[in-house]
Structure 1
Amino acid sequence: MKLSLSVPVNEEFDAEAARLIDARLASRLSHQDAELFDGAADAADRMGWVDLPQQGAGLIDDIESLRAQLQEKGLRTVSLAGMGGSSLAPEVMAQTAGVRLEIIDSTDPNQVAEAIGTDLEHTVLIIASKSGTTVETDSIRRSFAAAFEEIDVDPASRMIAITDPGTELESLAADQGFLATFLADPTVGGRFSALSAFGLVPAGLAGADVRGIVAEAAEAAADLSADSLDNPALRFGAWLSIAHARSTEKLVLAETSPQLHGLGAWVEQLVAESLGKDGQGILPVVVDSPADIGFSDARADALLCLLDPSAEGTELGAPSGFEAAITGGLGELFLFWEFATAIAGYGIGVNPFDQPDVEAAKVQARHLLDGPYSGTSEQTQFCEGVIDVLEVVNEATDLVSALQELFSQVDEYGYVGIQAYLDRIADAEAAQLRPLVSTHAGVQTTFGFGPRYLHSTGQYHKGGHPNGVFLQITGEARTDLLVPGRGFGFAQLQRAQAAGDAAVLVEKGRPVLRVHLLDRDRGLEQLREAIESISPHHHYGQD
C-alpha cells in the first residue's frame, strides 16, 4: 500500500484514537453496522460503499467492452451530465490519467451550448443521476437530444444512463433504447460513489485506468478496516474529531501534485455534505497550492492538509497546530477519505450518510420555476456601474458599503462563502475572488460555482456551523438556450436556483449579499476593485 499519513500526535489524540479502537469503529464500518449511527435509516441504506473495491471486476469488463464499441464507431468525445459526486470523482480520475472527459455540471446556458457545439458528431452523452430526476441532468439530456436530432442522429444511440434501479431514467433509457444503461448499487450514496458505476463508467469510457484504481482501493481495504493505530483513516478521523471539539472546524486543502488536480473538489463535497449538519461539521476550504495558504488562510481555526505532498519538509506553521500530509494512489485515497469521513462523523456525533438540508433549495427553485418567476422581475436594491445589487444585508446604498456590511457580519471564526452562478469555463477568473475576499474579510473563504456547489458544500452552508455569510454572484446570460419540453430556458433555471438557495439561507438567518453582473467581464473587474478598496482585516492568529 502506498498510502501514508502524517498527523500530530499527543495525549488528546491518543485518547480519542483509543476510544475509536475500543468501539471497533473501523471494522464495524466495514461490516456496514448502522448501529454506529443509532440505526438511522439513511445509514442502514447507504453503507454499500465499503464493498465496492471487491465488486468492480464485472463492471470494469463491461466498461472496457463498451469503450471498444465507442472507438469502433468513432465516438471520441465522452460528455458527462452529472452533479456532485456523480461528476467530481470521474473528473479527478480523468484528469489524473490525462484523458479528456467533458463535464457538464452547470445550468449556465453558454456553458451548456458550448458543450453541445463541441464535436457533436463524435459525441456520446452520459446521463448520471442517482434519483433519475435531477433537474440539471434532465435539462442537459433534453438539449443534447434536440441537437442530435438536428444533425439526423438518433439521440438514444448516443446516450448512456447511470442510475439506481427503478428510476424514471432507467425506464426512459429502456423505452428509448439507449446505447447502454448501468444500474448502480442503491445502497451507495452519491458522495460515496467514486468506486461505483457513477465514478468508474465515465472515467473508464474516457480512457482512464479504472481497473488499476479499483485494484489500489482493494489492496488498501483491509488496512482501512482495521481497528488499529496502523489504520491511517482511523488516525485522520480521530484528528478531525479532536480539531472539531476545539472549534477548529475549517479544513484547508492544498493540492501539491498536478497528477491529482481536482481531488480537493471531490474531498470538499464528501466532507462538507457528510459532516455539515445539526449545527456542526468540518468545512473544507480548497486552495490552489501551499503557496496560496497565506495569513488569511493559516488561521487559528484552520486545519491544514496537504494532498499528496511532492516536497518533503514543507512547514506551514498552522496557528492551530493541526497539520497533515496525505500521500497515496487515487484508488487508495478515495477509500481512505470515505472511511476517514465516516469515522469523523461518528467522532463528531453526526450521521455522515444523510443530507437533511439539501432538498430545501431544490424545492424553492422548483417553486420559482412553476410560478411566474423571471430573473428580470427580481427587485434591484440599487445599480452601480454594470452591477445590479439584488439583496443587501442591511441598508447599504453602494457596492463597497454592501460588501463591508457583509464582511462585518462574520465573526473571527466564521467564513465567507462565494457562490458564482456563472460559466465555470468562460468565467473561470471568478475563482480569483476567493483569496481576495479572504484577505480583505480576514476569514476563511470558500468558492463554488452554482449549481455545482448545491450538491457539495450547499448542505454545510445551511446545516453546518451557523457562522457563514454569503456573496452570491449571478450574471446576465451571454446567450439563452430553451429546455425542450419545459416551460423555461437555462438562464431562467440558473437564476431560479440562485434565488432559491439564497431564500433558504436568509430563512436560516445566514446573511446574503446578492449581485447581478449586467456585463460579466466588466462586472467581475468592478467587483474585484470594490473588494480591494476595503482595508484588509486582521483577526487572531494572523501576523
Structure 2
Amino acid sequence: MTSSLAVEIIDPDLADKAATLADRLVEERLASRISEQDPTLWGPDAEAEAAIRLAWTALPRTSRALVADVAALAAELRAEGVDRVVLAGMGGSSLAPEVLARTAGKALTVLDTTDPAQVADALAGDLERTVLVVSSKSGTTVETDSHRRIFEAAFRAAGVDAASRIVVVTDPGSPLEVKATEAGYRRVYTADPNVGGRYSALSAFGLVPAGLAGVDIGELLDQASEAATVLATDKPRNPALRLAAAWGAAHASGAEKLVLADTGSGITGFGDWAEQLIAESTGKEGTGLLPVVVEGPQAAGFADAGPDATRVSIGPATDETAISVTGPLGAQFLLWEYATAAVGRLLGIDPFNQPDVEAAKKAARALLDNPETDTGSARPSTVDGEVEVYAAPGVLTAGAGTLTEALRTLVAAAPHDGYLSIHAYLNRIDDASAELLRGELARNTGLQTTFGWGPRFLHSTGQYHKGGAQNGVFLQITGGHDEDAQVPGRPYTLGSLQLAQALGDGHVLIERGRPLVRVHLTDRLAGLAQLMRAVQELPH
C-alpha cells in the first residue's frame, strides 16, 4: 500500500465495528469487483444504472490523453493573450475544478450561481483575456446555459469573436455538443458518458478547466494511478474499504452525519467536493450519510459533535478525530469515490442515481413558465427591519413577531438528532459573510448545521434533503437586487431565475412536510448583519 494514502480509525469502538464490516467487504471481493465495473453489486434495482456509471474507476488511465491536449490548447490561448479562465458549471462540473485550482493556487473564476451581481462581477473582468469553459454533462443545465448566453452576448458587445473564446465540456450527443458544433466554438471535449457527474473529478469535467487554469493535471493523474491499484485490492487495509466500513458502522450505530473538517491536508475546499459525492450518492430511500462541512477542527459541530455524528479529519488526526484521511489530492478523489460506492452497498442503496434532484428543478421551471403562481410577492409572515420572513404553513406561531422569534420557532421544530440546513441564494463573493451563520447557528442551537449556496447546493445536498433522513429544518435566505440581467433568448432574468429556484425548492420541501422559513433581505448588507444579531440572541 502506498504510504501517502491512509485512512486511520482513531475511535477504538468504531475501529472494532469497522473491522468486521471491512472483512465482509473483502470476502465479497467488493473492491476488485468495483474496479472491474461489476454492476450487480448494488442489487437488481440498481443494476441498470450501475451498468452505465462505473467508468470512473478507469479514469486515471483513460484521461491520460487529455494532459497533452489541454496543455496545447492552453498554450494556444496564451499565445493569443488569453489567460483568464471562467468556468460555467454546476455540481460535479464545478466543484472538482475549483478544488484543483484553489489547491494549486491558480486563478479560476467559477460561475455556479444565478445571482446577477456575481455574474456581473465575472463579466467585469477583462473579456479580451477571457476564455469561457461551458461545462454540462446533460447539456441542458439551466444555470450554465444562461451563463453561456450572457457571455456570448458580452463577447460580441466587446468586439471579441465569441466562438473563439468558448470551450465546451459535455457528454457525446448532448444538446450542448450540437449547439457548440453549429456555432463553431473553439473546442468541444466530450467526456465518457458512463461517468456520473459527481464521480467526474478525473474526467474532462475536472481536468479541462483546471488544466487551462494552469493546474498540473498530469501529476494529479499520476497520484490517482498510484492509488488505483491499492484501492482495487481486496484486503482489510485497503483505505477505501476501511473508510466505507467506518462510515457504515457509524451509521448503523445511529450516526448518520459525517462532520468534515480540514486539519492541515494542504487541499483547499475538499469538503465541498466530498459533500456532493456523499450526500447525493447516499441520501435516498429515507437513509444516507449527511456531510456537515465545518470551518476547522475547533468549529461548532466538530469538537462538540454528539452521538448522531462522526468526526472525519481531512488531514492529520486531532484529539477529537474519529476518522483521519490523508493523501495527495488525485489519490483522495479516487479513494472517496470508491468508499462512497462501497458504503452504498452497506446501506442497501444505489449510489449512482439521484431520484429527488429533479423535483426542485421542475418546480422552478413551473414558476418561470407560470409567473402568476410565483409566491415570492406574497405577504410575509412578519417584517423585522430589513428582513421579511416567509414561513411554511404551521411553522411559525402567532407570537413569532420578530426575526429572532421566527428562528427560535424553526429550531424548535427540529426533531431529536435532527439538523438545520441554511440555503443562501446570495452572492458567494460579496455576501460571503453569510457563511458565518453556520457556526453561529450550530453553536447557539446545538444542532448539526449545514450551509449551502443556492442554487449550487441543489446539485449537491439537495438530493439528501428530500431523499435522506427526514429530520431536517430549513432556513432559506434570499435578497433584493440593485441590478438584474436579462438572459438573452429567454423570457426571464437571472434574478427571477434565482428566486424561482429558491421558491421551487422550498415548495418541494414543504410538500414533503419539512419545516421551512425563508428570510428575504431587502438590504443585503444590513439584512445579513441583522440576521447575525438574531442568531446570536437565540440562546437567551
Aligned partner of 2:323 in structure 1 is 324
Q: Is residue 386 of structure 1 aligned with residue 391 of structure 2?
A: no
For the 8 Å contact 2:279–2:461, the answer to whether it is kept is yes
Q: 1:420 & 1:42 partners in 2: Cα distance?
A: 32
Amino acid at match of 1:506: I
TM-score of the superposed pair, with normalisation by structure 2: 0.96
1:197/1:297 CA distance change after superposition, 3 Å? farther
For the 8 Å contact 2:254–2:307, the answer to whether it is kept is no
Query: Structure 2: which 5+ residue stretches go unaligned?
Result: none
1:426-457, CA deviations, whole angstroms, 9 ceiling, x for partnerless residues? 00000000011111221100000000000110
1:294/1:367 CA distance change after superposition, 3 Å? closer
For the 8 Å contact 2:278–2:340, the answer to whether it is kept is yes
Q: 2:109 & 2:318 partners in 1: Cα distance?
A: 34
TM-score of the superposed pair, with normalisation by structure 1: 0.95
Matches within 5 A, 1:233-248: 233-248=240-255
Q: 1:445 aligns with which of 441, 444, 449?
A: 449
Q: 1:529 & 1:358 partners in 2: Cα distance?
A: 33
Aligned partner of 1:541 in structure 2 is none
Q: 2:267 aligns with which of 254, 257, 260?
A: 260
For the 8 Å contact 2:19–2:236, the answer to whether it is kept is no
Amino acid at match of 1:387: V
1:129 Cα deviation after fit: 0.2
Q: Is residue 182 of structure 1 aligned with residue 189 of structure 2?
A: yes
Aligned partner of 1:5 in structure 2 is 7
Q: 1:436 & 1:58 partners in 2: Cα distance?
A: 47
Aligned partner of 2:25 in structure 1 is 20
Matches within 5 A, 1:60-459: 60-257=67-264, 259-293=266-300, 297-309=304-316, 314-316=318-320, 323-373=322-372, 377-392=377-392, 393-395=395-397, 396-459=400-463
For the 8 Å contact 2:300–2:442, the answer to whether it is kept is no
Q: 2:157 & 2:440 partners in 1: Cα distance?
A: 45
1:362 Cα deviation after fit: 0.1
Q: 1:4 & 1:295 partners in 2: Cα distance?
A: 21
1:314 Cα deviation after fit: 2.1
The secondary structure found in structure 2 opposite 1:466 is: coil
The secondary structure found in structure 1 opposite 2:192 is: coil
1:294/1:133 CA distance change after superposition, 3 Å? closer
Q: Is residue 462 of structure 1 aligned with residue 466 of structure 2?
A: yes
1:297/1:173 CA distance change after superposition, 3 Å? farther
For the 8 Å contact 1:163–1:183, the answer to whether it is kept is yes
1:378/1:142 CA distance change after superposition, 3 Å? farther
- What RMSD in Å do the two structures reach over aligned CA positions? 1.4
Q: 1:384 & 1:333 partners in 2: Cα distance?
A: 46
1:257 Cα deviation after fit: 2.6
1:326-347, CA deviations, whole angstroms, 9 ceiling, x for partnerless residues? 1101100000000001111111
1:377 Cα deviation after fit: 2.3
After TM superposition, the structure 1 stretch with the greater mean CA deviation from structure 2, 32-41 or 142-151, is: 32-41
Q: 1:45 aligns with which of 52, 56, 60?
A: 52
For the 8 Å contact 1:297–1:443, the answer to whether it is kept is no
Query: Structure 1: which 5+ residue stretches go unaligned?
Result: 537-543
Q: 1:532 & 1:377 partners in 2: Cα distance?
A: 29
Amino acid at match of 1:199: G
Q: 1:137 & 1:365 partners in 2: Cα distance?
A: 15
The secondary structure found in structure 2 opposite 1:500 is: helix
For the 8 Å contact 1:296–1:443, the answer to whether it is kept is no
Q: Is residue 526 of structure 1 aligned with residue 530 of structure 2?
A: yes
Q: 2:539 & 2:303 partners in 1: Cα distance?
A: 13
1:295 Cα deviation after fit: 7.1
1:152 Cα deviation after fit: 1.3
The secondary structure found in structure 2 opposite 1:292 is: coil
1:102 Cα deviation after fit: 0.6
Q: 1:204 & 1:387 partners in 2: Cα distance?
A: 43
Amino acid at match of 1:449: W
Amino acid at match of 2:61: Q
1:476 Cα deviation after fit: 0.3
The secondary structure found in structure 2 opposite 1:259 is: coil
1:411 Cα deviation after fit: 2.2
1:87 Cα deviation after fit: 0.4
For the 8 Å contact 1:297–1:438, the answer to whether it is kept is no
For the 8 Å contact 1:296–1:439, the answer to whether it is kept is no
1:213-248, CA deviations, whole angstroms, 9 ceiling, x for partnerless residues? 011101110110111112000011011111111110
1:298 Cα deviation after fit: 1.8
1:297/1:45 CA distance change after superposition, 3 Å? farther
Amino acid at match of 1:535: P
1:332/1:295 CA distance change after superposition, 3 Å? closer
For the 8 Å contact 2:302–2:311, the answer to whether it is kept is no
Q: 2:39 & 2:512 partners in 1: Cα distance?
A: 30
Q: 2:18 & 2:237 partners in 1: Cα distance?
A: 14
1:287-317, CA deviations, whole angstroms, 9 ceiling, x for partnerless residues? 11112145784222111111122xxx6201x
For the 8 Å contact 2:112–2:456, the answer to whether it is kept is yes
Aligned partner of 1:31 in structure 2 is 36
1:375 Cα deviation after fit: 7.0
1:177-222, CA deviations, whole angstroms, 9 ceiling, x for partnerless residues? 0000000000000000000000000000000000000111011101
Amino acid at match of 1:378: A
For the 8 Å contact 1:399–1:530, the answer to whether it is kept is yes
Identity %: 51
For the 8 Å contact 2:354–2:463, the answer to whether it is kept is yes
Amino acid at match of 1:444: Q
1:375/1:98 CA distance change after superposition, 3 Å? farther
1:295/1:268 CA distance change after superposition, 3 Å? closer
1:412 Cα deviation after fit: 3.0
Aligned partner of 1:539 in structure 2 is none
1:11 Cα deviation after fit: 3.9
For the 8 Å contact 1:110–1:423, the answer to whether it is kept is yes
The secondary structure found in structure 2 opposite 1:260 is: coil
The secondary structure found in structure 2 opposite 1:236 is: helix
1:404 Cα deviation after fit: 1.1
Matches within 5 A, 1:506-525: 506-525=510-529
After TM superposition, the structure 1 stretch with the greater mean CA deviation from structure 2, 221-230 or 376-385, is: 376-385
Amino acid at match of 2:7: L
For the 8 Å contact 2:153–2:488, the answer to whether it is kept is yes
For the 8 Å contact 1:127–1:159, the answer to whether it is kept is yes
For the 8 Å contact 2:99–2:267, the answer to whether it is kept is yes
Aligned partner of 1:540 in structure 2 is none
For the 8 Å contact 2:265–2:326, the answer to whether it is kept is no
